[in-house]
Structure 1
């Protein structure tokens, strides 16, 4: 037994080396972070199935009397022989990482190959391989709720599955007593080596992913720092002064070698000197199409992003890399995120200048809806998640950018498409849900052809916000539910927002939407009053605003307005 254990240990080092090489694959890293579709599952099945096949080929041949008779690569077996292998490392890791479909698929490949190799327990090993793959997939589905890859839970899950497989082999083998005698010798080495292999592979996967998460966290923190330092610059507009200072800040805080900023195609700032004709050609293309372009030359690589204000490209942002082979996907993602943030900051500057000239009281009232404490809380939760969950932090940063941009655009737009208002609802809800996980549930019911219908901005999002805050949904003890329904009835568009919150007293219900009231506890009702006043100003008597509520049962708000496309 000790001789077998030592020989299997030497084979396991090859499997661990292969596991490390797998983590170098960009496709594998991307699939780890998302739910697998059929294409991803097929790739994972092939990957871990071949992993298991290598475990078959590096196995050690033993006879029914438990004697080691070969320790070389074995394309086939005699009918009275069996093998001690590391096949199950690939199968179980595949199931734990990819779920039941990947576990079963990997088991079909590796177990099928083991069946073809022959031996007197080949049929039993195929069956137990399939059982192990399915069990690993089911365990993996549970483990993903608590994290991506954690070595200890994966080790314990693998150990349990391996013990079950070993105990089942005599049951499924045609020669029960011979199989039982064989596993009394090979069972412990197989369980020990395979479980240790699973544990080490999980450590390898986890360490690589942790490194990438730390990199993403650092990039997210850098992006936030840049955004904070450039906000006051771009609020002044896109000019030579703001562009020069912003370009220097970006260059100092990132891995970018040089930065250039243009208004139109005219260069306002370039930390590396003057751009050549090659960049100018690509900038013209970006300016016309509003889409990112990149080019690679022997000396450097550059990526050009559009700067967009109110869906119109007003300039470009160029990142230069002197060592193209060192440019990572994280660098590219951060560059794209910065261009989006700068576009939002420029749009904020455009709106502020417009407000300063227009002095429109209605616009100022809407601007006041972006509460400072909401922005403070949103930024706090993003910063807190930068290291703990950088992927979620990045998503929330995108939601915050979407929320701010839509709010700023709404300051100047009389009407917006329903899909834009719902985009704002989703962005706000995602940020609130991150602050209070598993406290709220949002459902939206709408026919897809109503996406392009036009409604006033800041209608649905403030109602969802009111439901969460004044409906006290986070304190219900259960799940706070908000249901938004949008439907067309002849020439009218009906908007309904329902919650299961604490409700409103009859006395207060009579005032809400009719006037602003003074209250230190329940809010002043200014958002509801503002919505009703704007509906009246835009549609006169063709629009209606109505509320129904019962204390302890929730509130329903009905809005009717003429349908427009």
Structure 2
């Protein structure tokens, strides 16, 4: 029995070694996080079936209570049995992949074992199927929780799985005394070895995935801290001082040999190796950088020649170059250099690409803040059409949150925010703008609000044919829509409808914004458009200032008209028909 225990220990050591190697393959670690997918189950069946077949062929041949062979076994003599680690591999497959994987591996392993022959070989088909089914059912519990059985659980259940095999030998063996003799010889070492092997296998999986999670947590923390520390510099604009400080921070967090940042024409910062000739204020040196500026696509170089630096003795051997974009245009590039080309891996590329998106968003955010400052211009104040600060900060916060989870959507919202502020700035410089421009402003505003409150509001815009070039006061529709968003619906989160209608009228063009909100109290209604009306969500000054502009432009006939009931409110005005001159 001791001899059998040592031989079985060698076999389980082989399986554990293969398992350790497998858990260091990135693809296998990745599929373990997607166990519910059909493709993953197929791959697990293939992997563990190979494990089970190896277990069968590397088993120890036994006749009654004697070890007869410990060599590679393809076939067995008619009176021989096989002690192996098959139950371990089938059990672990069920723990990891659930009933489908466990049962499939059990069937395949049992069939292979049957064709190996030996005494009552059909028993091992039955036991393999039962082990795969029971371990799969047990594993399904942990799959629903997106976890794995604990090591202690694996040890206990592993022993139970091997005990099932011993029980099958006793029940289906035919000659009870002979079966009892066999079980008495192999039961203890096989139950112990398979129990320990299952526990070790699960321990390897648990420690590997835990290490992966810890690594990702550290990387995420570093990236967030990096983004936080570089934010004020990229927001300050693309110039030498800010980019140099940002490059130093990137060097501190990322394991690279050098970091360089350029605009479209020259080097703004270079920190690290090759600083003697990659000098700020110089023109862009490398052909690789010029290609990225032209194409706007990320590129890699894995040799000095691919980088394209003509300076003799330049130590840079690899690089990844990421375009920095703002408003859809490439405004500069971020370059990460390596003096050892083997250091540039897939992980570095993914990290660099993510940082490029973050830094691009930071640059756009800086431009938005610059436009926000322009909104303080006295001319905008005189028109009282500046963006509500709460809306501005809410929009920035929304974009900030999206940068981490959906950088493309965040970029899109930043562009919409850019359009919104540009329209505010342009609108402040003229008394009348085309209706089409005003509606672009409204749509930019809606996209930002819909990002904050998905599906809370439904806005329907209807414009009568031929009116897109009619001149209207800037911010007319936008302020009325914004006012409905803020005040019409209270805390209601569904069925919030707003209708914007622009139609021809006897006296010109009628612009109407109607909602299905809660209505306006009488005492508040008589003050709207005439004086500041305090509320929980604002001062009411926007309607007052809009009304004053309308009256100033068109007289009393142009002032705001209010109609309200418990079914909603309609705010309208009449604008004289006037088209933009070509």
Structure 2 length normalisation: TM-score?
A: 0.66
Aligned equivalent of 1:333, options 338, 350, 363: 350
Q: 1:293 aligns with which of 282, 286, 299?
A: 299
Structure-2 residue corresponding to 1:218 = 218
Residue pair 2:166, 2:187 contacting (<8 A) in 1 also: yes
Residues 12-21 or 132-141, more deviating: 132-141
- CA distance in structure 1 between the partners assigned to 2:30 and 2:322 by the alignment: 23
C-alpha spacing 1:111/1:328, structure 2 compared with 1 (3 Å): farther
Change in CA separation of 1:405 and 1:515 when aligned onto 2, cut-off 3 Å:
closer
Q: For 1:246 and 1:305, how far apart are their aligned partners in 2?
A: 15
Corresponding residue SS for 1:168: helix
Instruction: Tell me which moved more, 178-187 or 189-198.
Output: 178-187
Aligned to 1:240: 240
My pick for the range that moved more, 21-30 or 285-294, is 285-294
Partner of residue 445, structure 1: none
Greater C-alpha Rg: 2
Secondary structure of 1:159's match? helix
How many Å separate the matches in 2 of 1:278 and 1:46?
Answer: 52
Distance 2:181 2:99 in 1: 32
Contact kept, 8 Å, 1:265 with 1:316, in 2: the verdict is no
The alpha carbon displacement at 1:55 in A equals: 1.5
Aligned CA distance change for structure 1 residues 93 and 279 (closer, same or farther; 3 Å): farther
Is 1:55–1:87's contact at 8 Å kept on the other side of the alignment? Answer: yes
Q: 2:336 aligns to what SS in structure 1? A: strand
Q: Deviations over 1:203-251 (max 9, x none)?
A: 2222233333222222112112211111100111222222211111111
5+ long unaligned stretches in structure 1: 379-395, 416-452, 465-482, 492-511, 518-522, 550-556, 560-565
Q: Is the 8 Å Cα contact of residues 261 and 318 (structure 1) preserved in structure 2?
A: yes
- Deviation digits for residues 409-454 of structure 1 (CA, Å, limit 9, x no counterpart): 4423469xxxxxxxxxxxxxxxxxxxxxxxxxxxxxxxxxxxxx99
CA–CA distance in structure 1, aligned partners of residues 328 and 115 of structure 2:
61
Residues 1:258 and 2:258 are matched in the alignment: yes
Superposition CA RMSD, Å: 4.4
Q: How does 1:322-471 map to 2 (within 5 A)?
A: 322-327=339-344, 329-359=346-376, 361-362=386-387, 364-370=389-395, 398-399=404-405, 405=411, 407-413=413-419, 456-463=446-453
Distance 1:367-1:59 versus aligned 2 partners, 3 A rule: same
1:89, distance to aligned residue in structure 2 (A): 2.3
Sort the Cα spacing of 1:371 and 1:305 in 2 relative to 1 into closer, same or farther, 3 A.
Answer: closer
Task: State the Cα deviation string for residues 10-40 of structure 1 (Å, max 9, x = none).
Answer: 2222221111111221211221233454443
Distance 2:58 2:351 in 1: 43
3-state SS in 2 of match to 1:78? coil
For 2:97, the equivalent position in structure 1 comes to 98
Distance (Å, rounded) in 2 between the aligned partners of 1:177 and 1:147: 43
The alpha-carbon deviation at position 62 of structure 1 amounts to 0.9
Counterparts of 2:173 and 2:511, CA distance in 1: 82
Q: Determine the structure 2 residue equivalent to 1:545.
A: 515
Q: Distance in 2 between matches of 1:2 and 1:357?
A: 85
Aligned length: 452
**Aligned to 1:162, what secondary structure does the other structure show?**
helix
Looking at structure 2, the residues matched to 17 and 558 of structure 1 have their Cα atoms a distance apart, in angstroms, of: 72
1:205 matched to 2:205? The reply is: yes
Change (3 A) 1:300 1:366: same
Q: Is 1:283–2:300 an aligned residue pair? A: no
Determine whether 1:168 maps to 2:193.
no
2: distance between equivalents of 1:103 and 1:90? 9
Aligned counterparts of 2:178 and 2:109: Cα–Cα separation in 1: 24
- TM-score, L = length of structure 1: 0.68
User: Which SS does the other structure have where 1:362 is aligned?
Assistant: coil
Q: Residues 331-354 of structure 1, C-alpha deviation per residue, up to 9 Å, x if partnerless?
A: 443322222211111111111112
Is the partner of 2:49 in helix, strand or coil?
helix
Q: Report SS of the residue matched to 1:72.
A: coil
Partner Cα distance (1:206, 1:253) in 2: 28
- Secondary structure of the residue aligned to 2:448 is coil
1:67-216 map, 5 Å: 67-144=66-143, 145=145, 147-148=147-148, 150-173=150-173, 178-216=178-216
Contact persistence 2:90–2:106 (CA under 8 A): yes
Partner Cα distance (1:324, 1:207) in 2: 31
8 Å Cα contact 2:500/2:513 also seen in 1: yes
CA spacing shift, 1:123–1:312, aligned 2, 3 Å: farther
Report deviation, 1:329: 4.5
Q: CA deviation at 1:308?
A: 2.4
Residue 362 of structure 1 and its aligned partner are, at CA, apart by 3.0
Which residue of 2 is the match for residue 426 of structure 1? none
SS at match of 2:516: strand
By how many angstroms is 1:524 displaced?
Answer: 11
